[in-house]
Amino acid sequence: MRPGDIDTFSIERMTLQGEGVARPGGMALFIPECLPGERVKARVTQVKKNFARAELLEVLESSPQRVEPPCRVFPRCGGCQLQMMDYATQCHVKTEGVQDALRRLGRLENVPVGEIVGAANPWRYRNRVQMHLRREAGAPGKPLQMGYYRLSSHELVENDECPLLPETFPPVLKALRRHLPDIDPAGELPIRHVVLKTTTPPEGAGEMMLILVFSAWRSAWRKAVGELAKRLIGERLTVEGHTGENLARQRAGEQYNLVSLYVNVNEKGEGEVLGPDYPYHVSKPGKERLTDYLPGGLKIEVGPASFTQVNPRQTEILYQLTKEACGLTGRETVVDAYCGVGTISLFLARDCARVIGIEEVSMAVEDAQRNAERSGITNAEFLTGKVEDLLPSLLEREGVPDVIVLDPPRRGCHERVIEAIAQAGSSRIVYVSCDPASLARDAARLAAHGWQVKRVTPVDMFPQTGHTEAVCLLERGKSNGK
């Protein structure tokens, strides 16, 4: 098999990345957009020692689970991987993916993995979107490009009508596309990314926050950004704390509830979209932060740097599973590592004696503290710093907590976090995972220190994509390892 070869292949299984797997001559061949049981024609694009890749040319025999994707840019856009299969099959593939990761990557056998908890509506579920923006400086009239990167590339795929976004998002994105070239015709503002957030109130439409990510910042650009905010937000604005009565503008019939606009500065060319600094913002009075709603009647403040779950409908299920796994009776001390704005901490606080949250982002910790105060919760406290730096000393100072909740980023837990937990010896760990591979790795590390994986419950927080969330309960006992 060589690059350029065209042949027919039978697809045996799927990866969570939406790639079909064929095995010509025993070698794993990955072909995007293919379903198990299909026979396809494909062109080989890459051959390595242990695997190869190919591009799909034609589906010769299609699976009964194949459906017509509703998105006009699928699969060119890198946002979704699974739109070509019906939702029940997506759920089955994701459950198998979690099982496979635990067995193959974690070498954990006989782990009870439940069927994934699917979404009632697998569309229009996201409350946040990140889009990339591209303009040519010094090229008046050059159209603004805004969209997602194609998978494994920096090719920009434009899309204002993503079916995963709420219907309130496209008007804001289209207004930005229309007004920005008018305000900055020469393309001098180095805006590289756009982040849009919304809240999910019990009734009615949510409020929205727009974040423009600059690669550099000059105070001279405040005037242009302020003018853009007037056009997008309209009405009476607060510009860095000063209310201006003369900033009223009509929004030309645009129907959305954008209440604040922030400038973020990220001078790094790659990696995280958001940088550490927010030098300028414009908002309606009292709307510097959004008010969002959690299960159990809790309200939280969401700032520009705050991380919250992107699927509010599934978040309630995720948090309920987390609380059940904690086994709270009202007497426990809980440590919530990687707590963000304190959503899990506050959700658990009413059912335990004390909860201590740890979060690296200082702005998120400030939000968490305010959220506790406004909810009348007095048994939650929050510490600022990296979990790997604070957890060892916290466990030494406070003693062994009854439950440790781990909700790490996609890369999983730092090695020092695992070591600190191993030395402390808490009897119960609840691991909230957003990546089956890092869950498998960290669960294996904890199993090596004497914990047993009691159960794993996947939750489909991200329908149409290969991403899977899961709640994993570990208790002190016999290891699941081989």
Among 66, 81, 106, the domain boundary falls at: 66
Find the helix or strand (DSSP H, E) in which 328 lies. none
Q: Is residue 300 part of a domain?
A: no
**pTM value > 0.85:** yes
* Same domain, yes or no: 113 and 133: no
The CATH number assigned to the domain holding 431 equals 3.40.50.150
Whether residues 230 and 330 fall in one domain: no
Residues 337 and 409 reside in one and the same domain: yes
Instruction: Give the domain-ending residue among 224, 258, 292.
Output: 292
Cβ–Cβ < 8 Å for 388, 416: yes
Q: What is the pLDDT of residue 249?
A: 37
Active site residue 434: yes
Helices (H), 116-221: 169-183
- Point out the annotated binding site: 309, 338, 359, 407
413 and 315 fall within a common domain: yes
Residues 446 and 387 in one domain: yes
- Predicted pLDDT of residue 141: 57
Residue 1 in any domain: the answer is no
Question: Does residue 207 sit within a domain?
Answer: yes
Token pair 């997008």 is found at: 232
- 8 A C-beta contact, residue 339 and residue 357: yes
Binding-site annotation, residues for S-adenosyl-L-methionine: 309, 338, 359, 407
Task: Report how far apart the first and last C-alpha atoms of the chain are (Å, whole number).
Answer: 36
DSSP 116: P
Answer yes or no: are the C-beta atoms of 20 and 30 closer than 8 Å. Answer: yes
Residue among 314, 299, 276, 310 nearest 376 (CA)? 299
Q: What is the pLDDT of residue 480?
A: 58
CA distance 357 to 348: 11
Beta strands 333-337; 298-302: pairing state? unpaired
* CA 122/CA 319 separation, integer angstroms: 19
Q: How far is it, in rounded angstroms, from Cα 393 to Cα 335?
A: 13
Q: What is the CATH number of the domain that holds 27?
A: 2.40.50.140
Question: Is-contact 162 129, C-beta < 8 A?
Answer: yes
Does residue 337 sit in the same domain as residue 471? yes
Q: What residue numbers bound the domain in which 274 lies?
A: 128-292
- Which of 50, 66, 82 delimits the end of a domain? 66
Are residues 273 and 340 located together in one domain of the fold? no
Q: Which residues of 215-245 are buried (b: 16+ CB within 10 A; e: fewer)?
A: eebeeebbeebbbbbbbbbbeebbbeeeeee
Q: Are residues 348 and 450 in the same domain?
A: yes
Using CA atoms, how far apart are residues 147 and 11, in angstroms rounded to an integer? 31
Selected catalytic residue, list 34, 71, 434, 472:
434
Q: Are 441 and 370 in contact (CB under 8 A)?
A: no
203 Cβ partners below 8 Å, 6+ apart? none
Q: Are residues 219 and 277 in the same domain?
A: yes
Residue 62: inside a domain, yes or no?
yes
470 and 422 within one domain = yes
Residue 416 resides in a domain: yes
Token pair 């948090």: residue: 319
Residues 462 and 364 in one domain: yes
- Largest Cα separation within the chain, whole Å, is 73
State residue 403 phi and psi, 5-degree precision. Answer: -140, 135
Dihedral in degrees, nearest 10, Cα atoms 153, 186, 222, 361: 10
How many domains is the chain built from?
A: 3
Q: What is the pLDDT of residue 475?
A: 96
Phi, psi (deg, nearest 5) at residue 98? -65, -45
In the block, residue with structure tokens 């201006």: 244
Can you read off the two tokens belonging to residue 260?
């604040």
pLDDT (tens place) for every residue of the chain, 482 residues total: 899 999 999 999 998 888 999 999 999 999 999 999 999 999 999 999 999 999 999 999 999 999 999 999 998 888 999 999 999 999 999 999 999 999 999 999 999 999 999 999 999 999 999 999 988 665 555 678 999 998 778 889 998 889 999 999 999 999 999 899 989 988 899 999 999 999 988 887 889 999 999 999 999 999 999 999 999 996 444 444 444 433 333 333 345 789 999 999 999 877 789 999 999 999 999 999 999 988 778 889 889 988 889 999 999 999 999 999 999 999 999 999 999 999 999 999 999 999 999 999 898 899 999 999 989 999 999 999 999 999 999 999 999 999 999 999 999 999 999 999 998 888 899 999 999 999 999 999 999 999 999 999 999 999 999 999 999 999 987 555 54
What is the token pair recorded at 41? 């024609």
pLDDT at 295: 77
- Contact (Cβ atoms closer than 8 angstroms) between residue 29 and residue 52: yes
One domain, residues 386 and 444: yes
Q: Answer whether 459's CB lies under 8 Å from 314's CB.
A: yes
In a domain, 298, yes or no: no
Tokens of residue 365, six digits:
């910790």
| Domain at 165, CATH number | 2.40.50
What's the DSSP call for residue 391? H
Structural domain contains residue 413: yes
Distance, in Å, from the CA atom of 60 to the CA atom of 31, rounded to the nearest integer, reads 14
Residue 185 has a CB neighbour count (10 Å cut-off) of: 12
Residue labelled with tokens 């191993």: 422
Asked, for residue 482, whether it belongs to a domain, the answer is: no
Residues 6+ apart with CB under 8 A from 388: 414, 415, 416, 417, 420
On whether the CB atoms of residues 125 and 463 are closer than 8 A, the answer is yes
